[in-house]
Amino acid sequence: MSVATRLGLFLLVTFFSGSIVVMAATDLRNRLKPPTNDEVERAAKLVQALRGDELFRVEAKYDEQHPNLQPRKPGRYLPEYDMKKIKSFLVGIIGGISEDSADSSDAAQSD
């Protein structure tokens, strides 16, 4: 395919996709309604709660040491137990052969 053909195809696709995006954005904007007084009050309360003590009260819980949490090794993102679980999951998906499937394939080959 020549450069001019590729450029023309690119411009054609860009034109149609851009037109669809503009049409959808215009339609969404036309359907939007102004917020009601109730929605404005709820949003104001939410913003006030996020600015105030609510946020700090939740953050304080993360500073506590929980007995169920396993410590990480320095320089690691996850605890060792979580890494083992993830590795075993990936091995099972990517290239791991379970013992049952290995036994059945050996039996099939010997027949």
Q: Tens digit of pLDDT for each residue in 49-102?
A: 777 655 555 555 555 556 666 666 777 777 788 888 888 888 888 876 555 555
Kindly report the backbone phi and psi dihedral angles of residue 34, in degrees, each rounded to the nearest multiple of 5, phi listed first: -65, 150
pLDDT at 83: 84
| Measured distance CA(11)–CA(17) in Å, rounded | 10
Lowest mean per-residue pLDDT among 10-19, 37-46, 47-56, 59-68: 59-68
Residue with tokens 């006030």: 48
Is 71 within 8 Å of 79 (Cβ atoms)?
A: yes
**CA-to-CA dists, residue 105 to 19, 95, 96, angstroms:** 55, 15, 14
Enumerate the domain spans of the chain: 1-32, 37-64, 67-96
pTM, to two decimals: 0.31
